[in-house]
Amino acid sequence: MNIHATVDNFKNERFRIISLDTASILSAWYEKICFWELLMIIGQLDGNTSFGINDYIDMMQTRKVTRLTVQRFIKSRILAGDLIEVKGAKKSRKTLGLSQSLEDAISLYFSELSV
């Protein structure tokens, strides 16, 4: 068997995925890879008012769902409190930022990856 990853790598990754799925605020984001990418985009832009929802969707490279599906997902995450609306540069542009609880969860996630 020519596997470059160790059995522990697979075991640890499986454990991480299970923990994300069951208890974490991140579970909704981890449901589809495109939603996970969306979270990374919103986090990376960090409330930059030059970007809005349509820009986030246009930036997605893993999107296999319709724009409407992504828009509905974003709306559900705003209602759930994961995302906060930031006043955009244009009145018609809705800019998003991460809630403190989501920021804390993603920080914990990244810290566990570096262990």
Q: For residue 4, with 0-12 CB atoms within 10 Å meaning exposed, 13-18 middle and 19 or more buried, which class applies?
A: exposed
Asked if residue 52 lies in contact with residue 88, where contact means CB atoms within 8 angstroms, the answer is yes
- CATH class for the domain made up of 7-113: mainly alpha
pTM: 0.84
CB 51: neighbour CB atoms within 10 A?
Answer: 22
pLDDT of 112 > 90? The answer is: no
Residue 59 three-state SS: helix
pLDDT, tens only, 77-100? 999 999 999 987 777 788 999 999
**Lowest-confidence segment of 58-62, 91-95, 97-101, 103-107 by average pLDDT:** 91-95
